[in-house]
Amino acid sequence: MEVAADQVRGVTAVAAGQTHSLALIKSGKVFACGDNANGQLDVPAEATSNIVAIA
């Protein structure tokens, strides 16, 4: 599922690894972004997505 960065609101915590980041929002959902080479984002490693610049 692709989510635009400006749609992630109510972030209560963040965590980052060397090549990926996670954001926890108030509802309990976790959003992930990053390299995903080993499937750490719970998306098949061969999947591709568009990168959206936010700054």
CB 26 within 8 A of CB 39: no
Domain boundaries, the chain: 1-49
CB 34 within 8 A of CB 21: yes
SS3 of 41, please?
coil
Q: What is the pLDDT of residue 7?
A: 72
pLDDT 10s per residue in the chain (55 long)? Answer: 566 767 778 999 999 888 888 889 999 988 888 877 777 667 666 666 665 555 5
Q: Is 41 exposed, middle or buried (0-12, 13-18, 19+ CB in 10 A)?
A: buried
Q: What is the pLDDT of residue 26?
A: 92
pTM: 0.59
Q: How far is CA 17 from CA 7, 27, 33, in A?
A: 22, 23, 10
